[in-house]
């Protein structure tokens, strides 16, 4: 287990370094002079020079990269050009909206997909299975932002069970926050649950065809017992991969859905920063999201290795 | 089975099984519908989508305007027809980028399996996978500005590792086959074997994956357009039609329902076609699933 962990941590570090270099190059090197890019065409030369100075742009790219990275380790992400406040503070406020939303959606998606997938597999080719496959096929095709608008129309517009948007903040209480997040989380979760349920079903069907299930049945276990005691556990590995991938889709999806519900999350921060050309905010916010995605992939890999010792050797 | 393959040419067998596959046929017809809408829109649309007619805005569906009119009084049916062009073009080119860049990389990695080059290609793929497509698009548009071309690049980059991985995985299993060994004995080089013997044999897989990536591309383009990073006005796009009417859906539901349905039906069509193709190309999978 230890060599596996060491190798995996090494590749985690490499991915993060590579990702940060890519982000740095695209945002700070490709535009040529970020200062004049941020100020636009009509800026006076001395304003540009002052911004260059305050951003430390006169230093070589390598030094700037190094300072950005080491700064992030110290929790310093630079000062937003438009908000004039540390980017770290801006991001910290927003993360507590986007991350809980993502986790809420991921939980919902898993809770829905798991029983649905098991049910479809257990009743393979029955009308239940066929309708589940039909509904999930449709669910995959539905864009979450459109689904979000339909949910708003029905549950906020017509039924008035939820408010159409806005986030009261966690200060208003945990349940108030959760209630505000429910429609966006459902909008994110259902299309993803469709994918997950199908993966769960096909993975379970594969497992049910294996020899050890036949052995378990021959030993006298009923179909149901064999399913619960042996098949589900073994079917979970591909499902876990998809859950890991879904985190990154949901996180990216969350920044779109937040716009529909007027949530003060990472999404509104990033899109505002883009329109205001606040590259300092874009750079660190994108890095943080990529960091979250890479970290989750890492955690999924480690979880596998704990669940299935064979994988510790196989992967390099 | 041996009788079948002796008596009928393989291509006619494929067409026959395509006609028998309901999911392929439904998917094919849905896809055809939107491709036709896009093609016809170049020659004819019920109403000009660049002409604003404000007094006529937000009209519900009627005989004159089948899907009603939008906030600027434009005919939604016509806009969906023209919007199909953008969606299909962006997704198609993005899939093209993925195939043209990804497949050779994957074949190269498989041919040099275990080498440093293989390792570099695969780790590079992992890196691209770590960025959700939306984040790539956000970075590109932050620097180069929004637009259809940048949306294509962003979605296309994300397609590269998908095809590279698929091509490498499939090619690896083919390199151990006897006919590849025979080709090597005959003195053919790695590039020639990859082109002449490996590529034709993984074509089916690439077509199926291409269909799936096509549908994901449509969804991604709609998402980017929705947040204002995709196609810019005046060209209509399904995602931006939704964004423009985000606050108006209670007043005029048609402005949101029809563009959304266009996205859903196109994606559904492509997915069903992909599933159908997989079954047709590989009947063994049908039994396994």
- Closest to A165 measured CA to CA, from B249, B49, B107: B249
* A93-102, A236-245, B46-55: range with highest mean pLDDT: A93-102
DSSP string for A80-126: -TTT-SBHHHHHHHHHHHHHHHHHHHHHHHHHHHHHHHHHHHHTTTS
Beta partners for residue A161, in sequence order? none
pLDDT for position B265: 92
d(CA B105, CA B117): 10
Cβ proximity of B270 and B218 under 8 Å: yes
* A308-312, B61-65, B228-232: range with highest mean pLDDT: B228-232
pLDDT for position A41: 67
The arithmetic mean of pLDDT across residues B89-103, rounded, is 91
pLDDT digits (tens, 9 = 90+) for B63-77: 777 777 777 778 888
Residue A153's closest chain B neighbor by CA? B250
Q: Chain B residues within 8 A (CB-CB) of chain A? A: 123, 126-127, 130-135, 138-143, 215, 219, 222-223, 226-228, 239, 242, 246, 249-250, 253, 256, 260, 263-265, 267-268, 271-272, 288-289
Distance in Å, alpha carbon of A1 to nearest chain B alpha carbon: 22
pLDDT digits (tens, 9 = 90+) for A2-32: 777 888 788 788 888 888 888 888 877 766 6
Q: How confident is the model at residue B4 (pLDDT cuts 50, 70, 90)?
A: very low
Dihedral sign computed on CA atoms, order B271, B275, B276, B277: positive
The arithmetic mean of pLDDT across residues B106-134, rounded, is 79
- The alpha helices in chain B, defined as continuous H runs, are 2-7, 10-20, 22-43, 76-111, 116-130, 133-144, 148-175, 178-185, 190-193, 199-226, 238-244, 254-281, 283-288
pLDDT digits (tens, 9 = 90+) for A143-188: 988 998 888 888 877 787 877 777 777 777 788 778 888 888 999 9
* Minimum-distance CB partner of B127 among A15, A31, A137: A15
Average pLDDT, chain B: 80
Q: Determine, for residues B263 and A146 on separate chains, whether the beta-carbon distance falls below 8 Å.
A: yes
- Closest to B202 measured CA to CA, from B85, B64, B93, B107: B107
Q: What's the pTM? A: 0.82
Cβ proximity of A14 and A316 under 8 Å: no
pLDDT for position B264: 92
The arithmetic mean of pLDDT across residues B256-282, rounded, is 86
Average pLDDT, chain A: 80
A243 or A35: whose pLDDT is higher? A243
* Minimum-distance CB partner of A157 among B250, B271, B288: B250
d(CA B135, CA B153): 12
Distance in Å, alpha carbon of B289 to nearest chain A alpha carbon: 6
pLDDT for position A296: 84
pLDDT of residue B287 exceeding 50, the answer is no
Q: Look-up: residue for tokens 């959606």?
A: A105
B120 or A38: whose pLDDT is higher? B120
pLDDT digits (tens, 9 = 90+) for B196-223: 788 888 888 888 888 888 888 898 888 8
d(CA B183, CA A158): 68
pLDDT of residue B11 exceeding 60, the answer is no
Q: How confident is the model at residue B100 (pLDDT cuts 50, 70, 90)?
A: very high
pLDDT of residue A201 exceeding 70, the answer is yes
Q: Determine, for residues A143 and B223 on separate chains, whether the beta-carbon distance falls below 8 Å.
A: yes
């Amino acid at each position: 287990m230890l060599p596996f962990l060491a190798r995996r941590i090494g590749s985690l570090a490499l991915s993060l370094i590579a990702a940060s270099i890519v982000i740095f190059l695209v945002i700070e090197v490709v535009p040529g002079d970020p200062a004049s890019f941020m100020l636009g065409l009509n800026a006076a030369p001395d304003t540009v020079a002052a911004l260059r100075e305050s951003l430390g742009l006169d230093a070589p790219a390598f030094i700037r990269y190094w300072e950005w990275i080491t700064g992030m380790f110290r929790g310093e992400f630079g000062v937003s050009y438009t908000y004039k406040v540390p980017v770290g503070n801006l991001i910290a406020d927003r993360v507590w909206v986007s991350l809980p939303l993502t986790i809420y959606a991921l939980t919902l998606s898993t809770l829905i997909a798991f029983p649905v997938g098991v049910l479809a597999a257990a009743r393979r080719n029955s009308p239940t299975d066929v309708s589940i496959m039909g509904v999930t096929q449709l669910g995959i095709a539905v864009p979450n932002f459109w689904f979000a608008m339909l949910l708003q129309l029905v549950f906020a517009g017509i039924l008035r069970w939820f408010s159409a948007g806005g986030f009261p903040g966690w200060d208003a209480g945990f349940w108030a926050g959760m209630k505000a997040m429910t429609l966006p989380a459902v909008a994110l979760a259902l299309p993803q649950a469709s994918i997950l349920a199908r993966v769960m079903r096909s993975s379970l069907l594969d497992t049910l065809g294996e020899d050890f299930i036949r052995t378990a049945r021959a030993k006298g276990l009923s179909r149901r017992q064999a399913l619960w005691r042996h098949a589900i556990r073994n079917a979970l590995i591909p499902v876990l991969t998809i859950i890991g991938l879904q985190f990154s889709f949901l996180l990216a999806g969350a920044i779109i859905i937040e716009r529909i519900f007027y949530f003060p999350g990472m999404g509104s921060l990033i899109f505002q920063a883009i329109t205001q050309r606040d590259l300092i905010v874009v750079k660190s916010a994108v890095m943080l999201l990529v960091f979250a995605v890479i970290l989750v992939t890492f955690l999924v890999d480690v979880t596998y290795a704990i669940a299935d010792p064979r994988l510790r050797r196989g992967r390099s | 089975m041996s009788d079948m393959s002796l008596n009928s040419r393989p291509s006619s067998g494929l067409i026959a099984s395509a006609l028998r596959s309901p999911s392929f046929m439904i998917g094919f017809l849905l896809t055809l519908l939107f491709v036709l809408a896009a093609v016809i829109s170049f020659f004819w649309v019920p109403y000009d989508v660049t002409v604003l007619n404000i007094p006529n805005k937000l009209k519900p569906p009627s005989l004159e305007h089948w899907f009603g009119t939008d906030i600027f009084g434009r005919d939604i049916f016509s806009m969906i027809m023209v919007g199909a062009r953008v969606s299909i073009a962006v997704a198609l080119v993005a899939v093209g980028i993925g195939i043209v860049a990804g497949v050779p990389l994957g074949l190269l990695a498989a041919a040099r399996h275990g080498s440093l080059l293989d390792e570099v290609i695969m780790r590079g793929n992992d890196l691209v996978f770590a960025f959700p497509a939306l984040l790539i698009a956000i970075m590109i548009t932050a620097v180069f500005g929004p637009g259809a071309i940048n949306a294509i690049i962003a979605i296309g980059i994300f397609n590269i590792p998908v095809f590279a991985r698929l091509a490498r995985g499939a090619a690896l299993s083919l390199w151990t086959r006897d006919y590849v060994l025979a080709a090597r004995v005959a003195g053919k080089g790695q590039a020639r074997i990859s082109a002449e013997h490996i590529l034709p044999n993984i074509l089916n897989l690439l077509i199926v994956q291409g269909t799936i990536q096509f549908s994901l591309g449509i969804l991604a383009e709609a998402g980017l357009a929705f947040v204002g990073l995709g196609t810019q006005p005046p060209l209509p796009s399904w995602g931006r039609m939704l964004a423009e009417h985000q606050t108006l859906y209670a007043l005029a539901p048609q402005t949101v329902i029809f563009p959304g349905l266009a996205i859903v039906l196109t994606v559904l069509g492509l997915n069903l076609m992909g599933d159908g193709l997989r079954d047709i190309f590989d009947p063994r999978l049908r039994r396994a699933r």
